[in-house]
A and B are shown apart, each in its own frame.
Chain A
Amino acid sequence: MAPMNPRILVIDDDTALAEMIGIVLRAEGFDVDMCADGDAALGTFRSTQPDVVLLDVMLPGIDGTQVCRLVREESNVPIIMLTAKSDTVDVVHGLESGADDYVVKPFKPKELVARIRARLRHNDEPVAEQLTVGDLEIDVTGHRVVRDGEAISLTPLEFDLLVALARKPWQVFSREVLLERVWGYRHSADTRLVNVHVQRLRSKIEHDPENPEIVLTVRGVGYRAGSAAQP
């Protein structure tokens, strides 16, 4: 039997758009499930167990950011927000609720597919690797981060961000480079994605997110990993 197609859950109240997305994604070889209501979204998510969630920000019932939070509470599944608002405040608000990425309407089918594939990509490149940064042990193969024998739960994107920084602790990464390495973009100029995700990653792995020791800001340039190992 052929390997299972990736499952995509599309949560959007606009049935025409959802159906269109369905047509495009099925043509690209994905299995697509639909949900048109914020209240039903979590139930559908549990029953379908998708590999990627496409989530409209404005939904009847519970709104998109709320759905995003609920899904995030029980899963690290990649979430891509579909938003009509490209203003900074709206985007940051969406990302802070736990989304990995966002696509601004109107988007092109190819762009959407590229974003989905970028979020699925890390699943099919297993490399046996063990990294250490600060007091964290990173098992790249097993997708696990451990501190003092205790596992820390990260989303795949947060994990990728941490690994990208930890692999070259001596190197300072600009936001643009991180966008390319972690998100897989070549041209997007939106560095807000990086800022928000670094904040979220810090809140999970730093002892004191206000005084980070693992993901350090290099003013005017970007970010780098803290001291690689204990001296």
Chain B
Amino acid sequence: MTRSPVRALRRAVTAWRTSLRVKVIGSTLVVALVALVLVGTVMAATIRDGIFDQRVNTLLLESSRSASIAQSTFNASTASNGTQVQQLLNDMMSALQSGGSSDHDIFLWRSLDAGPASISVNDISTAPERGSTITGQLRSAVVAGGDKQHWQSVAIPTADGTEPGVIVGSTVEVPVAGTFELYFLYSLAPEQETLTFIQQVLAISSILLVGLLGAVTWLVTRQVVTPISQAAAVAERLADGHLDERLVVRGRDEVATLGSSFNAMAASLQDQIERLAALSAMQRRFVSDVSHELRTPLTTVRMASELIYDSRADLPPALGRSAELLAMQLDRFESLLNDLLEISRFDAGAAILDAEAHDVRSLVEHTVEGMTPLSELKGVPVLVDLGTQDATADIDQVRVERILRNLLANAIEHADGTVVEVTVRADHRAVAVRVRDHGVGLTREQTAHVFDRFWRGDPARARTTGGTGLGLSIAQEDALLHGGRLEVWGRPQHGAAFMLTLPRRAGMPLTGSPMTITGSDVEAAAAFLADVGSASRRRAQGPAAIPELTDFEEQP
């Protein structure tokens, strides 16, 4: 029961917050209502007072005239005994009753403080039942005031309630009987009726006025708000990529100006976007053309070199060595070309993630195995810690393997004969691989540039692996393409660490990593355990909190 008004209120608040029209109409109506109530109240009061005062003045005049007529009649009377005086009073009563402009009642009462009368005369009135409207207060004021008029507003009891009235009193001298109080009771019912009618008219016209104001405001806001909401809708369509969308512009007013400015902006945006898209398409085509144009002659050169290289034993030593150099440098040329093309593909936004569920641990094992010749050549042992947790994730195998090869080759090359450690950790959201060496390390400044293109850690260093200088840039792009992260840590003489963190499912945002890049194995294991704990707790709370990973468990 209590909910629906609460909900209605909430809906009203929401409408107020979200709709300009509701806000404008609402505030207009509230202000108009307040103003009308104030003006109406003042007007009603003024009219009421005016009518009342005017009426009372008329009545005072009328009653005073009647009272003086009565007084002069009494003065002229020759009545001397009780019966004659009574008769005189009765005659006077009917004379007073018939005179005057409006319906009224008359009371002719013997004064309260008049001394004992020589004759007994009855109080008379035209409506004895209304005598109670004359208060003692008024009577004593009338008696004290002599022939001065006194009046009072009263409520006259009627069959169905009361009606407003005015009672006017004064004294008259009656022959023989002494001082009498003369009261005229006038009903103000017709004035009340008039007043009620005026008030009704006022109220009805106020309501009509408010309604009219609401309608006018609605129309005005419609004229202003409709173009605004149209512009909003069109802007949304534009944002969704429908660049041809435009506003319909009518007339030459401010709204039309807004519309044409908006359209000009949209046209300019469309122009820019289309130009950029064309540029990007051109770039992509260029990449693909360069690819074809360079690769075909490279294939021929390469096949020729291979043929010569295979028969180098039959060649003079200098030619044989040349064949070896040629073959080796062609390899390097090819990988440089491949890396350049890969980078251009990223720049053109043409790189596509071909993600499928794969076991990162076996991929790491496989990659480390493939690096054995290099690690043996360099005398760098590679220690692998795969952890205990399943590490299946949606990855592009080719790209991740390329990242890992790159990190491993880098670490082995810079390890200076010390151990390289590879650690794999996983939690419910992400899989991380850390490659750590204990070689010369990196300064803070170097770590800031390590992912820059063609950046060399130590220009004087002899390179045996023939890196292209693009490897880490590509690795980082590959990680980003997965929605993952590639981080670096380094300290001079303490070695360096690279950590790749990939989300378990394609498109899942990364929130953290299953391990820290600097942490020792003990710390890493502790962090890992904490994560597993929180994962199982969350799982117990509700399945919606984490993505289902059953697909991965199917994988052999």
With known contacts A84-B292, A221-B556, A109–B303 Cβ distance under 8 A: yes
With A17-B300, A85-B291, A106-B298 given, name 20 new contacts (CB 8 A): A14-B297, A16-B297, A20-B299, A20-B300, A24-B303, A24-B307, A84-B292, A87-B345, A88-B352, A105-B295, A105-B298, A108-B302, A189-B397, A189-B401, A219-B554, A220-B551, A220-B554, A220-B555, A221-B554, A221-B556
How far apart sit A108 and B303, CA to CA, in the bound complex (Å)? 6
Which of B291, B292, B296, B397 is the most central at the interface, judged by chain A CB atoms within 10 Å of its CB?
B296
Q: Are B307 and A87 in contact (CB-based, < 8 A)?
A: no
Q: Are A85 and B292 in contact (CB-based, < 8 A)?
A: yes
Minimum C-beta distance from A1 to chain B (A): 29
Q: Are B307 and A17 in contact (CB-based, < 8 A)?
A: no
List chain B residues, Cβ under 8 A from A107.
299, 302
Instruction: State whether the Cβ of A21 lies closer than 8 Å to any Cβ in chain B.
Output: yes
Q: Are B296 and A14 in contact (CB-based, < 8 A)?
A: yes
List chain A residues, Cβ under 8 A from B357.
220
Q: Are A84 and B295 in contact (CB-based, < 8 A)?
A: yes
Q: Are B306 and A106 in contact (CB-based, < 8 A)?
A: no
Minimum C-beta distance from A124 to chain B (A): 26
How far apart sit A105 and B556, CA to CA, in the bound complex (Å)? 34
How far apart sit A221 and B345, CA to CA, in the bound complex (Å)? 30
Q: Are B555 and A20 in contact (CB-based, < 8 A)?
A: no
Interface residues of B in 273-311 (CB under 8 A from A): 288, 291-292, 295-300, 302-304, 306-307
Instruction: State whether the Cβ of B350 lies closer than 8 Å to any Cβ in chain A.
Output: yes
Which of A88, A105, A110 is the most central at the interface, judged by chain B CB atoms within 10 Å of its CB?
A105
Instruction: State whether the Cβ of B398 lies closer than 8 Å to any Cβ in chain A.
Output: yes
Instruction: State whether the Cβ of A58 lies closer than 8 Å to any Cβ in chain B.
Output: yes
- Residue interface mask A75-88, B partner, CB < 8 A = 1: 00000000011011
Q: Are B352 and A87 in contact (CB-based, < 8 A)?
A: yes
Q: Are A106 and B291 in contact (CB-based, < 8 A)?
A: no
Instruction: State whether the Cβ of B452 lies closer than 8 Å to any Cβ in chain A.
Output: no
Q: How many A-B residue pairs have CB under 8 A?
A: 66
Contact of B334 among A23, A88, A106 (CB under 8 A): A106
Interface size on B, residues (CB 8 A): 27
How far apart sit A220 and B295, CA to CA, in the bound complex (Å)? 35
Interface residues of A in 1-43 (CB under 8 A from B): 14, 16-17, 20-21, 23-24, 27
How far apart sit A105 and B288, CA to CA, in the bound complex (Å)? 13
How far apart sit A14 and B300, CA to CA, in the bound complex (Å)? 9
- Residue interface mask A83-117, B partner, CB < 8 A = 1: 01101111000000000000001111110000000
Q: List 17 A-B contacts (CB under 8 A).
A: A16-B300, A17-B296, A17-B299, A17-B300, A20-B304, A24-B303, A84-B291, A88-B354, A89-B352, A90-B288, A105-B295, A106-B302, A107-B302, A108-B306, A109-B303, A189-B397, A221-B554
Closest residue to A86 on the B side, CB-wise? B291
List chain B residues, Cβ under 8 A from A27.
307
Minimum C-beta distance from B379 to chain A (A): 27
Q: Are A105 and B296 in contact (CB-based, < 8 A)?
A: yes
Q: Are A221 and B555 in contact (CB-based, < 8 A)?
A: yes
Closest CB pairs A-B (n = 6): A84-B292, A106-B299, A105-B295, A84-B295, A106-B298, A105-B299
Interface residues of B in 509-556 (CB under 8 A from A): 551, 554-556
Interface residues of B in 332-354 (CB under 8 A from A): 334, 345, 350, 352, 354
Minimum C-beta distance from B230 to chain A (A): 40
In which size bucket is the chain A interface?
20 to 34
List chain B residues, Cβ under 8 A from A109.
303, 306-307
List chain B residues, Cβ under 8 A from A105.
295-296, 298-299
Chain B interface secondary structure, helix, strand, loop or mixed?
A: helix
Q: Are B303 and A20 in contact (CB-based, < 8 A)?
A: yes
List chain B residues, Cβ under 8 A from A189.
397-398, 401
List chain A residues, Cβ under 8 A from B302.
106-108
Q: Are B555 and A87 in contact (CB-based, < 8 A)?
A: no
How far apart sit A106 and B297, CA to CA, in the bound complex (Å)? 9
Minimum C-beta distance from B326 to chain A (A): 14
How far apart sit A87 and B288, CA to CA, in the bound complex (Å)? 9
Minimum C-beta distance from A65 to chain B (A): 14
Closest residue to A12 on the B side, CB-wise? B296
Contact of B296 among A84, A87, A110, A221 (CB under 8 A): A84
List chain B residues, Cβ under 8 A from A89.
352
Minimum C-beta distance from B488 to chain A (A): 27
Interface residues of A in 137-179 (CB under 8 A from B): none
List chain A residues, Cβ under 8 A from B345.
87
Minimum C-beta distance from A163 to chain B (A): 24
Minimum C-beta distance from A148 to chain B (A): 37
Minimum C-beta distance from A195 to chain B (A): 11
- Residue interface mask B138-154, A partner, CB < 8 A = 1: 00000000000000000
Which of A23, A58, A109 is the most central at the interface, judged by chain B CB atoms within 10 Å of its CB?
A109
Closest residue to A14 on the B side, CB-wise? B296
List chain B residues, Cβ under 8 A from A23.
303, 307
Closest residue to A220 on the B side, CB-wise? B554
Closest residue to B292 on the A side, CB-wise? A84
List chain A residues, Cβ under 8 A from B300.
14, 16-17, 20
Minimum C-beta distance from B280 to chain A (A): 15
List chain A residues, Cβ under 8 A from B295.
84, 105-106
- Residue interface mask B380-407, A partner, CB < 8 A = 1: 0000000000000000011001000000
Closest residue to A15 on the B side, CB-wise? B300
Minimum C-beta distance from B304 to chain A (A): 6
How far apart sit A106 and B292, CA to CA, in the bound complex (Å)? 10
How far apart sit A221 and B552, CA to CA, in the bound complex (Å)? 11
List chain A residues, Cβ under 8 A from B555.
220-221
How far apart sit A14 and B293, CA to CA, in the bound complex (Å)? 10
List chain B residues, Cβ under 8 A from A87.
288, 345, 350, 352
Closest residue to A192 on the B side, CB-wise? B354
How far apart sit A58 and B297, CA to CA, in the bound complex (Å)? 14
List chain B residues, Cβ under 8 A from A14.
296-297, 300
Minimum C-beta distance from B308 to chain A (A): 11
Minimum C-beta distance from B548 to chain A (A): 13
How far apart sit A211 and B295, CA to CA, in the bound complex (Å)? 41
Minimum C-beta distance from B246 to chain A (A): 34
List chain A residues, Cβ under 8 A from B352.
87-89
List chain B residues, Cβ under 8 A from A221.
554-556
